[in-house]
Amino acid sequence: MRALRPLDLTLCGSTSRTMTVRKGKRMAISIQEHMAINVCPGPIQPIRQISAYFPRHSPTSSFSDSLSPNLTSCSSDAVGAKADGVLLSPHSAGATGGGGTLSAMCSMDTSIEIDSCDSDDNTSLGTLEFQLLYETATSALHCTVIRAKGLKPMDFNGLADPYVKLHLLPGACKANKLKTKIVKNTLNPVWNETLTYCGITVEDMYRKTLRVSVCDEDKLTHNEFIGESRVALRKVKPDQPKHYNICLEHPPPLSSPTAMSSAMRGISCYLREWDSEQQRNLEERGRLLLCLQFLPESQYSERVGQTEAKEQAKGGLCVGVRRCAHLAAMDVNGFSDPYVKIYLKPDLKKKSKHKTAVIKKTLNPEFNEEFFYEITFNELSAKTLEVSVWDYDLGRSNDFIGGVSLGCNSHGDALQHWIDCLKNKGQKVERWHTLTNDLPGSTI
């Protein structure tokens, strides 16, 4: 039997294997490593070595010992090696080939960290620039909406009619939502508009989140959502403006009820209802800004006149109803027609009852009205001031929105406000109060 002629096998245009069979000897196969060349149209790019597709396992050698210096310089992912299937390194003579080097292949497989704001998936919605400022003296949160850039086109003309909407979370009341003007036919709108939330306490800043969303106005159909961002207000330092330039995001996905067991769904529903009830009692009633001032006899004489002061020879309590904020919407149009009633108990005389004018169609009314009670300091310490906010309805009974009681038997901010008034005679003491759903027993 004559010896066979050497058979050449060609892979990707280069000789990679040579098989030789001699008479009376075992067949020997030698493998010479080459970098395979991608012959597809386009730039020539080296791909993995051929040995990556023909793994050979060594049961005795360890992972670190089995890798050559060239191979250990790059990650095991570059050559497809795993902990449970370790590849032996190629021979030194075959570490390089006509298509490239092993180190070049390793550098190509390395992942690159990309900033989330530079990603096409995030910037496709656009960016928004705004500024937040919390003033402790006035308990006001100012949000200055500056501009947006590169918004997603929403209309047939490739543009949008964007506006910005603010929403304080948690809280479903309409008064928690503010919005800017609409800028027509642009993907790069400029607003330079400041929206203000009044009656925001330090506690609110710690536990609330501001949702800033950009929407597109559509008069023919419903307005369309473009993107949003959520800011934890605890990150905003008091009396220091904080600037934001953020990428708009899609809203967070809602949890699927099917992913929870029936028991967990029941607990989740209970907690959700309980939380909603608490928020309804505390948040959706609204806030009231009151000013209390006890006038001693000398200051009271200057205010009402010398003749009347001599006849009364008493001091007086001045109650200033400044404004309300975030009131509950009681009418079908999403607003209320609020007014405020005050009652100094337990006096049953009509002069102990006062009420403000009605402000139509608003959830953030400004009253700036003052009422006076002629009373001595000793008598005042035994009184209770009941303040309630109502929604005026023509032709039927008025709706109660919320109220607060101030006196020596009160609690929290109401008690502190009353004590500060009694301690600081002649000085005006202002404080925001959270309205509760406790209906006072007084009527007018």
Closest to 344 in 3D by CA, of 313, 323, 316: 316
Cβ contact 140:197 at 8 Å: yes
Domains of the chain: 7-109 (no CATH), 122-247 (2.60.40.150), 285-434 (2.60.40.150)
Cβ contact 59:41 at 8 Å: no
Vertex 189: Cα angle to 183 and 193 (nearest 5): 75
Q: What is the pTM of this model?
A: 0.57
Closest to 319 in 3D by CA, of 248, 372, 242, 397: 372
Q: If residue 212 lies in a helix (H) or strand (E), which one and from where to where?
A: strand 209-216
User: 118 CB contacts (<8 Å, ≥6 apart)?
Assistant: none
Task: Give the E-state strand segments of 32-181 in sequence order.
Answer: 35-37, 46-49, 96-97, 100-101, 127-135, 140-149, 162-169, 177-179
pLDDT in tens, the chain (444 residues): 444 444 444 444 444 444 544 545 555 555 554 454 555 555 555 555 544 445 545 444 444 444 444 444 444 444 344 444 443 444 444 444 444 444 444 444 333 333 345 444 555 789 999 999 999 988 999 999 999 999 999 888 889 999 999 999 887 677 788 999 999 999 999 999 999 999 898 888 998 999 999 999 988 888 899 999 999 999 999 999 999 999 999 887 655 555 455 555 555 555 555 555 555 445 568 899 999 999 887 665 555 555 454 444 567 899 999 999 989 888 888 889 999 999 998 876 777 889 999 999 999 999 999 999 988 888 888 899 999 999 999 878 899 999 999 999 898 889 999 999 999 989 999 999 999 887 765 444
For the residues of 52-77, what is the DSSP string, one character each?
Answer: GGS----SSS-HHHHS-HHHHTS-GG
